[in-house]
Chain A
Amino acid sequence: MAALENININNGMANAASADTAAESSRSGIRSAGSGTGASAGGNTGMIKTPLSPRRKAYIGTMTGLMWFCSIITCGLVVYILAYVLFRGIPNISWEFVSTSPSYLSGNIGILPDIMNTIYIVLASLVIVLPLGVGAAVYLTEYATNKKLVDIIEYAAETLSGIPSIIYGLVGMLFFCQFMGLQTSLLAGALTLVIMNLPTIMRTTQESLKTVPQSYREGAFGLGAGKWRVIRTVVLPNCIDGIITGCILATGRILGESAALLFTAGFAHALNGPIKGLQSAGASLTVALYVYAKEQGEFEVAFGIAAILVVLTLILNVAARLVGAYFKKKRDR
């Protein structure tokens, strides 16, 4: 392996030097080594400094320019999209908008049912996916001894995270709605999202399980604790940050999901309590946005929902960062 890496370096070097004639590169080599190391440049006063060849200068200039240009495009796009959505959406958000149900009689459009449906779906999915994902991660890091099985499980998780949501929607419809007889309901939607988010929870938990020092476990074993007790009292409490991060990521994904919910949870706008709600069809905020924009042409309503979704995305991002920073600080102490 070391030999391979050496070859790699040599290739890199050859590329770096190939732009110039050998003589020139060796001379200018001295020059930029001097300027590159800054502090030691003082010692190089006796050396010849040659300016870079125009070709190298042009290359460096082009690349620097392109990098700035592309980075500015990326950031500009984000700012533009956020500003546009908030600018068009916020004027449409009122207390009435978020606290009433839509009514054909009065022509009123309210999104309270969609908000409630979204909350039900997020909660139901998290409640089911957490034990599954955390359990799988615990099995992989604490129990599994068969390397092959671990590889297969990890490959399966990677496969799951690559499958497009429309396919989850179809299979969810076939399996949960038809085969298991749940009909088109929020519960069927939530179960579909459970499969989608399983890899996320698994991965974040696994990452943080790996950071629990082996000595903690050994200490507990040394005191005579059984494996289950060690996991319950030592391992799990120490990986709570991974679990919380996983929850935040999963919540973000569930909030933004639409294709998987279209055929599993449907697009009704009825206001229900949690129990009845889970059993009946209902649109989440994203699905409602799609229906209002594409099928009904109610762009003002759609932008109102989009603004709410964007604000929630912002909040979740900040939350994820704060949680990360908080636990990092706690761990370092």
Chain B
Amino acid sequence: MNRHKIESVVKFIFLILGLVTIACVLLITVYLVIAGIPAIREIGIIDFLFGTKWASTAAEPQFGILPFILTSIYGTAGAIVIGVPIGFMTAVFTAKVAPRKIRMAIEEAVSLLAGIPSVVYGLVGMLILVPGIRDLFDIPDGASLFAAIIVLAIMILPSIINVSLTALEAVPKEYEEASLALGATEIETYFRVSVPAAKSGIAAAVVLGVGRAIGEAMAVMMVSGNAPNMPDSLFQSVRFLTTAVASEMSYSSGLQRQALFSIALVLFLFIMMINALLNFLMKRDKEG
């Protein structure tokens, strides 16, 4: 009897531990919604989402976050345009072509790239990229959308390479052998058989990259200049959704502070959509 009691107590404890994850997600969602809704109500959802001017500390404060939303979208798109081809090609090379030694070196490099803290990327970006862009394009300040795009492109490389690599490795050997037997060369086989067969996984890699890029805060804050401009040009000082929250939080108060929570809520909704898409792709990849 006693043993049974212990067993059921232990089972209950493990159940609780298992439920902690769900509780955390709920906690985050509930807190963001509760904290984010009041300002949206007060400002008005249209004015908030589509207002083009952010002047939170002005005498007549304005809270339009369209510049941040567009910057986040452009920045992420730019990072994907640069990062995905490089990551994809590296993944195909590593999975299929590279000799064992080179393969190990690339994997080591990629895991280091993933491990470098984002502030270090920001620091290197501040001192190399920003002055470089300033001199190369002859503009007064290099801290710009373009600098942020390059930093983000580098930072999403590990996610893209690792997930594509896993997907490419999972392609059944028979597909490739069949293609080779039909007369395709090895390179043709990799790109026209293996890659299409792994396309769900590679799509998942891209979506994961989008999620990483849109959520990155510190590195971007250090190189993007941080002025709440509309992103009209690549070489403008801009502010992302993430950096909008981070840069004003420490001195904010009242409606301004609440508006920052609303920005976080918008960012959270973006991320949840991306997560759902990612989950869908991963599942489809698993089922083949």
- In the complex, the answer to whether B127 meets A56 with C-beta atoms within 8 Å is no
> Contacts A163-B28, A165-B217, A166-B217: A135 and B22 contacting too (C-beta < 8 A)?
no
Q: Are B17 and A313 in contact (CB under 8 A)?
A: no
A84 contacts across to B, CB distance below 8 A: 124, 128
Chain B residues with CB below 8 A from A171, complex form: 27-28, 31-32
Residue pair B119, A16 in contact (C-beta under 8 Å): no
Partner of B124, one of A36, A81, A163: A81
Chain B: interface secondary structure?
helix
Contact partners of A26 in chain B: CB under 8 A: 183
Nearest B residue to A8 via CB reads: B197
- A156 interface hit (Cβ, 8 Å): yes
CB neighbours of B272 from chain A (8 A): 159
Most buried by B among A11, A77, A313: A313
The A8-23 residues at the B interface (CB cut-off 8 A) are: 8-9, 11-13, 15-17, 19
Chain A residues whose C-beta falls within 8 Å of the C-beta of B106 in the assembled complex: 71, 74-75
Contact indicator B89/A70 (Cβ below 8 Å): yes
Asked if A17 contacts B182 (CB within 8 A), the reply is: yes
Number of contact residues on A: which range applies? 35 or more
Complex Cα distance, B188 from A70, in Å, reads 18
B217, A78: Cβ atoms closer than 8 Å: no
Contact check, A36 vs B196: say whether CB atoms are below 8 A apart.
no
Residue contact A156 to B25, C-beta cutoff 8 Å: yes
Minimal Cβ-Cβ distance residue in B for A302: B123
> In the bound complex, what is the Cα–Cα distance between A156 and B87 (angstroms)?
28
Q: B180 touches which one: A32, A81, A159, A165 (CB < 8 A)?
A: A32
Task: Give A226 to B27 CA distance when docked, in angstroms.
Answer: 35
Complex Cα–Cα for A26 and B105 (A): 38
Given contacts A9-B178, A167-B267, A259-B246, are A313 and B14 in contact (CB under 8 A)? no
Closest chain B residue to A314, Cβ basis? B112
* Closest chain B CB from A146 CB (angstroms): 10
**How long is the Cα–Cα vector from A32 to B19 in the complex, in angstroms?**
56
Among B115, B161, B267, B278, which residue has the most Cβ atoms of chain A within 10 A? B115
Judge whether B80 is part of the interface by a CB distance below 8 angstroms.
Answer: no
Closest 4 CB pairs of A and B: A29-B183, A164-B215, A135-B17, A256-B117
A-B contact pairs, 24 of them (CB 8 A): A8-B175, A12-B193, A16-B182, A16-B188, A30-B183, A36-B181, A74-B113, A84-B124, A84-B128, A85-B124, A139-B17, A156-B24, A160-B25, A162-B215, A163-B28, A166-B264, A167-B215, A226-B7, A259-B118, A290-B218, A293-B122, A293-B126, A310-B116, A316-B115
Chain A residues within CB distance 8 Å of chain B: 1, 4-5, 8-9, 11-13, 15-17, 19, 25-26, 28-33, 36, 52, 56, 59-60, 63-64, 66-71, 73-75, 77-79, 81-82, 84-85, 131-132, 135-136, 138-140, 142-144, 149, 152-153, 155-160, 162-171, 173-175, 195, 198-199, 202, 226-228, 252, 255-259, 262-263, 286-287, 289-290, 293-294, 299, 302-303, 306, 309-310, 313-314, 316-317
* Known contacts A15-B193, A25-B183, A140-B18; 18 further A-B pairs (Cβ under 8 A): A4-B288, A16-B188, A17-B182, A29-B182, A59-B187, A71-B102, A78-B112, A84-B124, A144-B18, A149-B18, A153-B18, A162-B211, A164-B242, A171-B32, A256-B115, A256-B119, A306-B124, A314-B112
